[in-house]
Structure 1
Amino acid sequence: MEQRTLVKWLKILVLFAAVCGLGLAGGVLPLAGQWLVESYPEFSYCFWPWLIFLWVLSIPCFWALYLAWKIFGNIEKDHAFTTENAEYMGRISFLAVADAVVLLVGNVLFWLIGMNHPGILLLCFVVTLIGIGFSVAAAALSHLIWKAADLQDQSDWTI
């Protein structure tokens, strides 16, 4: 597959993820919350705190998609192995681990004040582990891109 074709598909994937995320955060989550409040009115006090918490959790995801878009733009310009891309991947790694930690801490706090079910808390642990795994993978890619950029810089100086 050609580089431009690959970048085009990667950008389409980022746009698709962003649209799905906006649909989830702006449509599905509020509608599901309203349905839960109508079905179980005794939990209506949980609606806004949980919805705001989930919206806050979506911010790092959208920021990571923006950084991925910038990386793909650099790849399109044939600047795949640059320190700039390595820094972007490092930021994505940080965003993933920060989001995972905020998810875990928020769920534990909600559980402590009686606004969370223990089953949701257990599911949160699994999602946190997945987020940390994603962060480690992004950190490893950042390191590899940094090494490749360093090798490329060295080879540019070689005659």
Structure 2
Amino acid sequence: MKLGTTLFLKIAVILIAIPVLALCIFLLPKFGDFAAELYPDIAYIKYLFFFVFYGSAIPFYIALYQALKLLGYIDKNEAFSELSVSVLNKIKYCAITISGLYVLGLPLFYLIAQKVDPPGVPAIGVIIIFASMVIAVFAAVLQRLLKEAIAIKSENDLTV
């Protein structure tokens, strides 16, 4: 493939990363302080809040980095290799980790929704869990298909 055919996708990955980074730097500390003000009797709620959100940001950025690596493999005509299978496996586990952290954080969403009273706060957590599980399943399906394509390609290489 020509170098740069995946340039649009690489730019999209970077543009996804920037707002999440801004959210982590500017808004999450304020949300943590807000949660601590809502429940002053639960002193550690701020740290639970940070654990869920900053903890999910780490696998999110790992998955974005792995996506950039996969796009690099596609540019180098190494898409049908074990390297791509490994990248998809890491993306799958990152998505499962994000989903697991938000499952642990659902009671936190529920507590905040009780005090603030917007009906959509717990739904945000459920949407993130669902979206990350969809990504995990999609990565698992792509991983399996890629393994089968690699097996077919190696059989054809042996035949010729």
Query: TM tier, shorter chain?
Result: 0.7 to 0.9
Range moving further from structure 2, 94-103 or 122-131: 122-131
Q: Is the 8 A contact 2:80 2:146 kept in 1?
A: yes
Rounded to whole Å, the distance in 2 between the matches of 1:32 and 1:121 is 15
Q: Does 1:117 align with 2:118?
A: no
Query: For 1:51 and 1:61, how far apart are their aligned partners in 2?
Result: 15
Q: In percent, how many aligned pairs have the same letter?
A: 22
Alpha-carbon offset, residue 85 of structure 1: 0.4
SS at 1:22 equivalent: helix
Distance in 2, matches of 1:152 and 1:65, equals 28
Residues 106 and 68 (structure 1 numbering): CA distance in 2 closer, same or farther, change over 3 Å? Answer: same
Aligned Cα root-mean-square deviation (Å):
2.5
What is the number of equivalent residue pairs in this alignment? 152
Q: Which runs of 5+ in 1 are unaligned?
A: none
What is the aligned partner in structure 1 of residue 23 from structure 2?
Answer: 24
- 1:19-98 paired onto structure 2 within 5 Å: 19-34=18-33, 36=34, 41-43=37-39, 45=43, 46-98=45-97
User: What residue identity is the alignment partner of 1:66?
Assistant: Y
CA distance in 2, matches of 1:106, 1:32: 14
For 1:32-83, what per-residue CA distance to the aligned partner results, in whole angstroms no more than 9, with x for missing partners? 545x46xx94446443431332111111100101111111111111111112
CA drift of 1:31 comes to 4.0
Do 2:70 and 2:87's aligned partners in 1 also have CA atoms closer than 8 Å? Answer: yes
Distance 1:123 1:99 in 2: 14
Q: Are the aligned partners of 1:107 and 1:116 in contact in 2 as well (CA < 8 Å)? A: no
Q: Distance in 2 between matches of 1:151 and 1:3?
A: 25
SS in 1 for 2:53: helix
Aligned to 2:149: 148
Aligned amino acid, residue 102 of structure 2: L
Distance of aligned partners of 1:51 and 1:123 in 2 relative to their CA distance in 1, 3 Å threshold: same
For normalisation by structure 2, the TM-score amounts to 0.79
User: Does the residue aligned with 1:5 lie in a helix, a strand or coil?
Assistant: coil
Distance in 1, matches of 2:50 and 2:77, equals 41
Q: In structure 2, how many angstroms separate the alpha carbons of the residues matched to 1:105 and 1:22?
A: 22
Contact 1:82 1:149 in 2 (8 A): yes
Deviation of residue 92 (structure 1)? 0.8
Structure 1: distance between partners of 2:101 and 2:51: 13
Q: Equivalent residue of 1:26, what SS?
A: helix
